[in-house]
Structure 1
């Protein structure tokens, strides 16, 4: 099915096609892009490993909160106001904020740990131990 997608000459994958579609549809709204950061989640048996691409962020600009059964990752790039007004030939770097939520109903929320290195945020999400539902016998009257 994907080989039927009409890719342009600059689009090398489905992701490029979708990113370009999003930019053309929304234009400069929301700072030029409404896309969220890219995330991989791997099931390691007793835990999940979530890796999120956040290049260019300072660790202090990333906030991770647990809100009920949801993990919320929020970050913000602040625009740097420069004294010198340069005449840019091209400016692609954007500033703004992002927020993304993940359902963690089957995760031990109090045991989540995080690290940030080389633009990759990595969260270790230990799974809750699965307890089988209680069984009981029902007497017939």
Structure 2
């Protein structure tokens, strides 16, 4: 008896059709992101291929890091005949909550399509107050 593990059903074809970017382009794609702690800081690395440095906006407000990137549509060249065009508009937005960040010391860099944001953790000097019982 032989089994066909690559069997395709009508629903598989429909799923492939509706999940194909050719037919339904997506403007907000899921960029890969890593968040980790290294020494005395949190590090966020986000893959943003195709974006330029000036298209990326980073803000830190009320313990929330917000990263936005908007890639505007390039001018259409009348001399080109496009058969397929999916590089029109890309946008990305991600918010991550952090506690205990020294917001004045946050640093960011963008190299080869990877955004790296370093968020230093505040030094906490825990003071113990002895309370007198009356």
* TM over 0.5, shorter chain: yes
Contact 1:32 1:94 in 2 (8 A): no
TM-score (norm 1): 0.68
More helix by share: 1
Q: Which runs of 5+ in 2 are unaligned?
A: 1-5, 8-14
1:50-61 matched pairs, under 5 angstroms: 50-61=44-55
Give the alignment partner of residue 66 of structure 2, picking from 54, 66, 72.
Answer: 72
TM-score (norm 2): 0.71
Q: Which runs of 5+ in 1 are unaligned?
A: 1-7, 10-19
Higher relative contact order (CA 8 A, sep 6+): 2
1:1-141 matched pairs, under 5 angstroms: 24=19, 28=24, 31-32=25-26, 34-84=28-78, 86-132=80-126, 134-139=128-133
Root-mean-square deviation over aligned CA pairs: 2.8
Q: CA 1:55/1:109 → structure 2, altered by over 3 Å: closer, same or farther?
A: same
Which residue number corresponds to residue 5 of structure 1? none
Which residue number corresponds to residue 3 of structure 2? none
- Cα deviation, residue 36, structure 1: 3.2
3-state SS in 1 of match to 2:54: helix
Distance 1:90 1:126 in 2: 45
* Larger gyration radius, structure 1 or structure 2: 2
Distance 1:78 1:33 in 2: 11
